Amino acid sequence: MGYPFVEIDLEKIAANTRLLVELCRKQDIQVVGVTKAFCADTAIAQTMINGGVQMLGDARIQNLRKLREAGIKVPFMLLRIPMPSEADEVVRIADCSLASEFTTMRQLSQAAKKAGYVHNVVLMVDMGDLREGVVPQKILPLVQQSLLLPGVRIQGFGVNFACYAGLIPTPEILNNLVSLTQEVREKVALELPVISGGNSANIELLLNGGIPAEITQLRLGESILLGRETVHYRPIPGAYQDAFILHAEVIEVQEKPSASQGEMGRDAFGDIPVLEDRGIRKRAIVAIGRQDVTLEGLQPLLPGVENLGGSSDHLILDVTDADNVISVGQELCFSIEYGALVHAMVSPYVSRVYKYPENYCCG
């Protein structure tokens, strides 16, 4: 296996999945396993299913198509509100989608009617994260208008947290969503069985018993993959944080000044570097760059090694204080943050190596 590559420990992902599914089960909450961070890699998706997830969700219909073609049997949820132009494929591949626009609902209705399907929809309510969703006072008119559309079934309401505006979930916000659902149920006589209460930002509430009993669903990705909640990035008790490790090769080791000796302009990405002058330091270059991964999301696992940043193709490290002598051709390992994981899994230049558990089931 050539460098760089991500080592993926499927047993740790399965263990994290089992832990979170059980925590949610105790509160009658269904887990939607979110596959977008790993581009719906079928081995990881199947590992989530083996761990107890009964529905998978992704933001790209292409990823759901890949899972469907691989023979994955569980229901699929499209997490990004659909583009009207993809409505035909959405109703064919996804069992459910999130929605917020009547125009898109109408396109889904026409596509579902043409295909002879009934497509399930969860309407998103913007409770303050300022991403997708209608404001609460407009949800009832949207429901009433959408009831006239054949081929579309409104399953319930959903909310998003800590993605765009960084809104932190609270019991008060979730109770407001529950109250809104109950109000609409009474006014339009709909069952609305799904209240999709958020994502991995909700984990602290889940652990502390702060999620209202009426919440029926959470959409979990990062908490399963990296074993932490996403508000304060605290580890989840009993979960693994090292299911993904990036391996890369050293291609240069030199002693150099720590700050440029000449006039400085913008770097290759248009930023003006700020370099601290620490004198002559030993620096190593690793063969991976911004074209492959978000460099700020890599943490060297060898003590004493410092990530200085890099360019399109190079990661620059300060190895002056490294516990071991660093040499050209050596492998260095890094923990990987969520954003870096997303980019690494997208990059055609980063390979994947799997550690399979003994009892791995491929579906």
Residue 304: alpha-carbon gap to chain centroid: 30
In the predicted model, what is the mean pLDDT of residues 336-355?
Answer: 97
Phi, psi torsion values for 55, nearest 5 degrees: -150, 140
For 10-226, the fitting CATH number among 3.40.50.970, 3.40.50.720, 3.30.300.30, 3.20.20.10 is 3.20.20.10
pLDDT tens, residue by residue, 202-261: 999 999 999 999 999 999 999 999 999 999 999 999 999 999 999 999 999 999 998 877
| Domains of the chain by residue range | 10-226, 244-354
Beta-bridge partners for 299: 335
- The C-alpha angle 166, 300, 311, rounded to 5 degrees, equals 75
pLDDT at 8: 98
Q: How confident is the model at residue 265 (pLDDT cuts 50, 70, 90)?
A: low
CA dihedral 19, 20, 22, 25 (to 10 degrees): 180
pLDDT tens, residue by residue, 38-77: 999 999 999 999 999 999 999 999 999 999 999 999 999 9
In the predicted model, what is the mean pLDDT of residues 324-352?
Answer: 97
pLDDT exceeds 70 at position 267: no
Q: How confident is the model at residue 264 (pLDDT cuts 50, 70, 90)?
A: low
Name the nearest CA neighbour of 93 among 125, 119, 127: 119
pLDDT at 274: 75
Q: How confident is the model at residue 9 (pLDDT cuts 50, 70, 90)?
A: very high
Task: Choose the catalytic residue: 36, 113, 282, 355.
Answer: 36
In the predicted model, what is the mean pLDDT of residues 100-114?
Answer: 98
Name the nearest CA neighbour of 197 among 224, 162, 232: 162
pTM of the model: 0.95
What DSSP state is assigned to residue 81? P
Is 26 among the residues known to form the active site? no
